[in-house]
Amino acid sequence: MVENDLNELMLERRKKLDDLNEKGVEAYSNDFDREDLIADILSDFEKLENEEKVIKTAGRIMALRNHGKSTFADIMDMSGKVQIYGQKNKLGEEDYDLLTSLNIGDHIGVEGTVFKTRRGEISIRVSGFKLLSKSLRPLPEKWHGLKDVELRYRQRYVDLVVNPDVKEKFILRSKILHNIRRYLEDKGFLEVQTPLMHPIAGGASARPFVTHHNALDIDLYMRIAPELYLKKLLVGGFEKVFELGKNMRNEGLSTKHNPEFTSLELYQSYADYEDMLDITEDLIKTVAQNVLGHLEVEYDGLEINLASWDRMTMVDSIKKYADVNFSEVNTLEEAKTLADDKDVHYDENTSVGEIINEFFEEFVEEKLIQPTFITQYPVEVSPLAKRNPDNPNFTDRFELFIAGNEIANAFSELNDPIDQKGRFEDQVSQREAGDDEAHMMDEDFIRALEYGMPPAGGLGIGIDRLIMLLTNSPSIREVILFPHLRPENK
């Protein structure tokens, strides 16, 4: 719809609003008591018809068809859509004229009795109605809807009205979150809430957003992860905790990244990363089965089988997909030579572990289509994970990949305060060398560990990416109601 046409239609609707005001008709009434949802009217039709019960429902007009002395309209609420039928001789001339003057997009309250048309369509014979909200902007035309992707995200409120599949996707999102909570509560986990503003950015390698607290006159960092606060709760005696909430990271936009995103983090005392692996697989299977009714899902043209899960170490995965065997590498110079041969980038102050991780990201990640746990991450890229007792250059950590996307990250939590402080010091050195995503020193977390944290397993799941998978949504913006976008005028 071109801008001139839009402006003309809006002027026409504004004139109708003026006419309503002149006639004393309330255009934004709030005194209609809805008693019946449309879905209930449709499902209980036979009973309602037999009892000749007067129903009262409300919704948005989605279609309007005037036929002289009778008018049909479709109204829609959250639960469904139903046809209404108004007659001039039943409503009277004044009310009937008001009905025919309404626009698609207006909200109305309707009362009447149900019947079936000659075509067998369940309908409401209107005995009375009330205008509840006048729409001053026309909805996108039915035959092409709202197709512009950027416009859909920017005006999600319109997207939800005219694209029913979008609304269903977000209803599914709510069901997924509900089932995650129910699963964890059934396992004895306690849901908690930790701060969104931190004095020190920690718990992940990411660039934070910074804000300022006026009363305290200090800068604070918007949460990049709740991890360190949740582990302090393990120190305090809580043994099984989880938080399902928002994190903010000051990074770029992509089909897989939104600066504000939802994550699940859980921690369990007297557990390890193997326990977290079992929980991850069982949780995703259970949620998929409960919400979708099956474990076979389609994602971006790929057939994913959530009933079958694989696992391999990071080194083994690189050997499989890049034909490079880091188990035979003994020095940094050997690792650099392999990287040079394969055109893998590394920084001047790199380590063997960081080069291994670069190889993995370059050659392996996108090839992990079916659910695959990658275990044994280098210690240099895992500053909060416990070292593997058999090979201290690696950690007891895994990440879950499905359809080439990282879905989950977990490890046996590092609870040695001396080792943890040394890892933080290494991260501080990286920050001083220019890595603004490296960890800061967190003395309070070290102090908490010095009081003694039990051995524990921790798990983080990217909820938006999991929902992308379960709803066949290749872009993260499809599963976030109001994703971040560039300003309209740029």
Question: Is residue 3 marked as binding?
Answer: no
Three-state DSSP state, 341: helix
Cα–Cα distance for residue pair 432/427, rounded to 1 Å: 9
CA dist 71 and 61 (Å) reads 12
Inter-residue long-range contacts of 114-118, CB under 8 Å, 24+ positions, other chains counted? 114/41, 114/45, 114/48, 114/49, 114/55, 115/49, 115/85, 116/45, 116/49, 117/83, 117/85
DSSP code of residue 420 = H
Tell me the C-alpha distance between 473 and 302, whole Å. 12
> Do the bridges between strand 405-412 and strand 70-77 make them parallel or antiparallel, or are there none, so unpaired?
unpaired
343 Ramachandran zone, left/alpha/beta (phi>0; psi -120 to 50): left
The Cα 232–Cα 242 span in angstroms is: 13
Is the Cβ–Cβ distance between 406 and 465 less than 8 Å? yes
Helix (H, G, I), strand (E, B) or coil at 13: helix
User: Position 45: which residue type?
Assistant: F
Q: Does the annotation place 406 within a ligand binding site?
A: yes
* Residue stretches of the annotated binding site for Mg(2+): 399, 406
* Residue stretches of the annotated binding site: 399, 406
